[in-house]
């Protein structure tokens, strides 16, 4: 199986030993505590799950700047984005110089302890440093960009140091059939006997074009299996909730994929909408979960018009340090149903087609149809999937 990034073995930060886990839970109740931001909580879940292996905890400002500017930490380790625990001056003042603290979950009622942290540094992040990290990671300073707004809205004090993770926030309980750690996915890949595995990222239900893209990638790469890996964390307003996406994708796999050819899984992270840089992060943790290949299509992890259509592919050629990752990228163009060929094709592979030769529907049009109880054409969406989405949209009326 493919090795994790930067290490011979996965290094999840979740405390699996039951005695140690219980001892930490008891200790945490005696420690000074801080309430995490949603981003910092998601970072803890990803480190606990092994997806961000081999990071030992939250980055110092120097490491975060290195990740932002050249994807390299001060010790030479590759990592494509800052992984920080940022907060306000009021919270820092309340910690009174504590060296060991309990980190509380902002996304679960009662704010239970998510992790215990050894505080090695508390640093104030300058406006210039925030501006640099924002520019390098998001490629824009526009406060209307949802990722920029979230990153810059956390406070200006960074707490760094190693963490021990005690739970996976709301993800394990709310999505028991879908949430999986990198450890669990690696184990299941091994149990299924898969050697060559392609991963597909989604934050939306999968239309026919997405389904066929996965089949194309599996066929062309000669893969044993596909891991459909959906984001279960916070999205932007208007995105379809995770339980609905989950149901739609599971129905598609049940009906249209061969047995033992596809896994439906999810991970606990808030979407950054950072386009190219987030594509690199997605590849990073897909290697850690055992995938040998990863599909990246047009405007991967983008939002609005902030990124070029293929920036998320070219970044692997132009900016990712050589040899940083072993996972290979399957580069996809927009896929759509060809009226001429009577099948789904990559648009770049149909040079004799005009726009009107494809079945293309805008997201707005599709939402309007579903809200009115009308299934999109079969060339766009599987009827079983469309029905699940119709039920959801009609429930909003």
Model pLDDT for residues 204-242, shown as the tens digit of each residue? 889 999 999 999 999 999 999 999 999 887 666 677 888
Q: How far apart are the first and last CA of the chain?
A: 48
Predicted local distance difference test score (pLDDT) of residue 385: 94
Mark whether 203 is an active-site residue: yes
| Residue 396 CA neighbour count, 13 Å, CB half | 14
- Strand order across the beta sheet in which 197-202 lies: 262-267, 225-231, 197-202, 293-296, 328-331
Mean pLDDT of 162-175: 94
Mean pLDDT of 113-118: 98
Predicted local distance difference test score (pLDDT) of residue 236: 65
Predicted local distance difference test score (pLDDT) of residue 279: 97
Taking CA atoms, 52 is separated from 20, 82, 85, 120, 288, in Å, by: 22, 11, 15, 20, 8
Residue 322 class from Cβ within 10 Å (0-12 exposed, 13-18 middle, 19+ buried)?
A: exposed
Instruction: Phi first, then psi: give them for residue 151, nearest 5 degrees.
Output: -65, -45
Mean pLDDT of 125-146: 96
Residue-range domains of the chain with CATH: 18-168 (3.10.400.10), 173-395 (3.40.50.620)
Residue 349's pLDDT band (boundaries 50, 70, 90)?
very high
Predicted local distance difference test score (pLDDT) of residue 212: 95
Element (DSSP H or E) covering residue 249: helix 242-256
Predicted local distance difference test score (pLDDT) of residue 397: 74
Mean pLDDT of 48-63: 98
Residue 292's pLDDT band (boundaries 50, 70, 90)?
very high
Least confident among 88-92, 130-134, 280-284 = 88-92
Predicted local distance difference test score (pLDDT) of residue 363: 80
Predicted local distance difference test score (pLDDT) of residue 337: 93
Can you give the C-alpha Rg of the chain in angstroms? 21
Q: Which is it for the CA torsion 343, 346, 350, 353, positive or negative?
A: positive
Exactly one of 203, 250, 331, 367 is catalytic; name it.
203
Distance of alpha carbon 393 from alpha carbon 363, whole angstroms: 13
Q: What is the DSSP letter of 161?
A: E
| Residue 192 CA neighbour count, 13 Å, CB half | 22
Residue 361's pLDDT band (boundaries 50, 70, 90)?
confident
Cis peptide leading into 54, omega within 30 of 0?
yes
Q: List, as one string, the DSSP characters of 25-68.
A: HHHHTTS-EEEPPHHHHHHHHHHHHTTTTT--EEPPHHHHHHHH
Exactly one of 204, 250, 331, 367 is catalytic; name it.
204
Tens of pLDDT, residues 298-316: 889 888 899 999 999 999 9
Predicted local distance difference test score (pLDDT) of residue 96: 83
Residue 396's pLDDT band (boundaries 50, 70, 90)?
confident
Pairing verdict, β 197-202 and 293-296 = parallel
Predicted local distance difference test score (pLDDT) of residue 235: 64
Residues of the chain above pLDDT 70, percent: 99
Residue 57's pLDDT band (boundaries 50, 70, 90)?
very high
Taking CA atoms, 125 is separated from 65, 66, 152, 350, in Å, by: 10, 14, 11, 50
Mean pLDDT of 282-302: 95
Tens of pLDDT, residues 69-100: 999 999 999 999 999 999 999 999 999 889 99
* Interaxial angle between packed helices 61-70 and 127-138, expressed in degrees from 0 to 180 and rounded to the nearest 10: 40
The per-residue pLDDT of the chain, averaged, comes to: 94
Predicted local distance difference test score (pLDDT) of residue 357: 95
């Amino acid at each position: 199986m493919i090795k994790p990034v930067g290490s011979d073995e996965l290094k999840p930060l979740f405390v699996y030993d039951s005695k140690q886990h219980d001892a930490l839970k008891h200790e945490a109740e005696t420690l000074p505590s801080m309430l995490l931001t949603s981003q910092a909580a998601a970072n803890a879940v990803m480190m606990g799950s092994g997806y961000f292996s081999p990071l030992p905890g939250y980055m110092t400002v120097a490491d975060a700047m290195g990740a932002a500017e050249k994807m390299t930490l001060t010790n030479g380790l590759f990592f494509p984005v800052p992984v920080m625990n940022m907060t306000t001056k009021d919270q820092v003042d309340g910690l009174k110089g504590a060296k060991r603290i309990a980190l509380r979950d902002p996304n679960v009622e009662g704010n239970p302890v998510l992790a215990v942290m050894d505080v090695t540094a508390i640093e104030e992040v300058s406006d210039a440093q925030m501006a640099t990290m924002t520019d390098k990671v998001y490629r824009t300073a526009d406060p209307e960009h949802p990722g920029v707004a979230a990153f810059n809205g956390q406070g200006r004090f960074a707490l760094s140091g190693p963490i021990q993770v005690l739970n996976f926030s709301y993800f394990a309980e709310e999505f028991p059939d879908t949430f999986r750690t990198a450890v669990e996915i690696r184990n299941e890949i091994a149990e299924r006997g898969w050697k060559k595995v392609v991963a597909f990222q989604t934050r939306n239900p999968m239309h026919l074009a997405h389904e066929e893209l996965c089949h194309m990638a599996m066929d062309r790469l000669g893969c044993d299996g596909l891991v459909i890996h959906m984001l279960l964390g916070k999205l932007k307003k208007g995105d379809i909730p995770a339980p609905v996406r989950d149901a739609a994708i599971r129905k598609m796999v049940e009906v249209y994929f061969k047995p033992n050819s596809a896994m439906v899984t999810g991970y606990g992270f808030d979407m950054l909408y950072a386009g190219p840089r987030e594509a690199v992060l997605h590849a990073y943790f897909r290697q850690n979960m055992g995938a040998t290949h990863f599909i990246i299509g047009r405007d991967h992890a983008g939002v609005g018009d902030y990124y070029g259509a293929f920036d998320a592919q070219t970044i692997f050629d132009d900016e990712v340090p050589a040899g940083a990752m072993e996972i290979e990228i399957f580069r996809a163009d927009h896929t759509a149903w060809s009226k001429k060929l009577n099948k789904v094709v990559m648009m770049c592979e149909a040079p004799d087609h005009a726009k009107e030769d494809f079945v293309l529907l805008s997201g707005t049009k599709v939402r309007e149809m579903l809200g009115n109880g009308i299934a999109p054409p079969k060339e766009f969406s599987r009827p079983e999937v469309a029905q699940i989405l119709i039920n959801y949209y009609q429930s909003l009326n």
